[in-house]
């Protein structure tokens, strides 16, 4: 069913357009090699990824700051692996990770195709909770920055999705209205509920087949946005 009243489309970036898990895995392989750390990356990532998600939830909820997130997620992953790592090395790895993350820029399947398709008829925007110093590099290095009229970053606004303030700010900057906008993202709490709470429509990019409550529109491949837009 096509949506007729939409003029502006807001995308999340990580895990929605920019393939965070793939790029992050490649980054860890690179920084472990650079720092001569001999551990199995796959084993590390299996432990790190759920820990990282838990830390991001705390960060969204304003319970920890950026430094605590960057350090804590690594420290906890090494502890879970029973690998002894000095605080100095963890801090160095946390810095190296941010430095090298944007040297890998894999996008989700059909990202460029769908952005080309949508940009012909809609204004496209980004709302992201990611760190300000790396999000613009992700957009630029993956060569999709030109598709977006505005980029709203939580660090700039001072609150994170799902706080209504960041959605209202993004709508104001885009010079549009919530009731003629739609949010597309992979995080049900941050992206979908956050948008719906200000009267914005939403499409859940449910690529990992999460269960959720309510009658929300969902897709598992970006090209399926053509069903609605």
Residue 3 falls inside a structural domain: no
Fill in the DSSP letter of residue 3.
-
Q: Assess whether 134 and 37 both reside in one domain.
A: no
Q: What is the CATH number of the domain that holds 57?
A: 1.10.150.240
Structural domain including 68 reads: 20-101
Q: Assess whether 176 and 193 both reside in one domain.
A: yes
pLDDT digits over 144-175, tens only?
999 999 999 999 999 999 999 999 999 999 99
**Residue 57: its pLDDT value, please?**
94
The 10 Å Cβ neighbour count of residue 66 is 11
Rounded Cα–Cα distance for residues 198 and 165 (Å): 9
When the pLDDT of each residue in the chain is averaged and rounded to a whole number, the result is: 96
Question: Which regions of the chain are under pLDDT 70?
Answer: none
Q: Which H or E run contains 124?
A: strand 123-128
Q: Assess whether 120 and 221 both reside in one domain.
A: yes
**Residue 224: its pLDDT value, please?**
98
pTM of the model: 0.94
Q: Assess whether 191 and 221 both reside in one domain.
A: yes
Rounded Cα–Cα distance for residues 108 and 38 (Å): 30
Total number of domains constituting the chain = 2
φ and ψ of 84, to 5 deg = -80, 125
């Amino acid at each position: 069913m096509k949506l007729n009243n939409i003029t502006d489309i807001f995308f999340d970036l990580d895990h929605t357009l920019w393939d965070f898990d793939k790029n992050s895995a490649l980054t860890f392989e690179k920084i472990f090699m650079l720092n001569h750390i001999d551990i199995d990356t796959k084993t590390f990532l299996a432990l790190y990824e759920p820990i990282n998600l838990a830390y991001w939830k705390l960060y969204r909820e304003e319970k920890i700051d950026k430094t605590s997130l960057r350090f804590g997620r690594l420290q906890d992953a090494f502890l879970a692996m029973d690998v002894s790592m000095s605080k100095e090395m963890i801090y160095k790895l946390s810095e190296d990770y941010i430095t090298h993350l944007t040297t890998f820029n894999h996008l989700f399947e059909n990202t460029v195709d769908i952005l080309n398709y949508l940009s012909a008829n809609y204004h496209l925007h980004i709302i992201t909770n990611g760190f300000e110093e790396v999000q613009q590099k992700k957009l630029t290095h993956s060569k999709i920055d030109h598709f977006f009229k505005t980029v709203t970053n939580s660090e700039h606004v001072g609150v994170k999705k799902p706080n209504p303030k960041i959605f209202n700010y993004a709508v104001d900057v885009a010079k549009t209205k919530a009731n003629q906008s739609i949010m597309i993202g992979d995080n049900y709490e941050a992206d979908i509920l956050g948008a719906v709470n200000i009267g914005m429509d939403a499409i859940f990019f449910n690529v990992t087949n999460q269960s959720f409550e309510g009658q929300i529109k969902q897709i598992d491949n970006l090209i399926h946005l053509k069903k609605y837009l």
